[in-house]
Amino acid sequence: MKITRKQLRRLIAEAIINEMPMIKPGGDIDPDHYEHITDMIDTGEEENIAHADFLASMVGHDNDNLSQDLKQYDQVSIMGAAGDFAHYLKDEDKQMLMNIAGKDLTYGLYGWAGPGFGNVAIEGGPGIPANNFYEMAMRIAAKKKDFDQDDVEEHEGMKSGISAFNKLAIAIISLSNKTIVDRYEMEDVGIGEEVGRRSGHYKFWDPAYEKLWEKKKLIIHGYVEPDPWDMH
């Protein structure tokens, strides 16, 4: 039986994901040391990365390539979260996803630019800016890396485009440590709506958002505890 290249890529991705260790590299390092070491790696400077790898090997990691181990782990994590649309993304898109993996994010509207993700650690700064989020979603909707105006007209505001935005948002939230959304913006970014006024009950428009909320990956800012007398 012959298989297509797309099917082959998916089989390879699934095989890699199934082999992915459940524990993130560096888990055997003291948390205080680990934070300092990963901060050095995050600078992106070769000298700092080399020094961080050396320190990691001295304080518990089983080799002197922690930076590469973390990069590989993040790449596999992205493949798992992105699923069958990862190959529509450009390399710079995947790098953005790697950069936000395990980080605390915010998700909301950025004026006319539309929805985007901010990084809590740098006061809502570079996470997935609205314009990049839009372009990534359009690539997913058009099912190709280089979309054009015809693709925009076909998918923007349509079911296919909305589905792509939600798939991407769900993948990003899954990759984050946690993502905070203001309850007043839930509807604007397509997550769901509050049932009643200050009821603490939410109607999620995609079951995946509800699962992320239950796992505390998706945090509703301004969350109100449900009224025990509210049977609805």
pLDDT by residue (tens digit) across 132-148?
Answer: 999 999 999 999 999 99
pLDDT at 105: 94
Contact status, residue 67 vs residue 82, Cβ threshold 8 Å: no
Across the strands, what pairs with 179?
105, 218
Q: Residue 53 CB: number of other CB atoms within 10 A?
A: 21
- Using the predicted structure, report yes or no on whether residue 22 has a pLDDT greater than 60: no
pLDDT at 135: 95
pLDDT by residue (tens digit) across 94-127?
Answer: 888 888 888 899 999 888 888 999 988 765 566 8
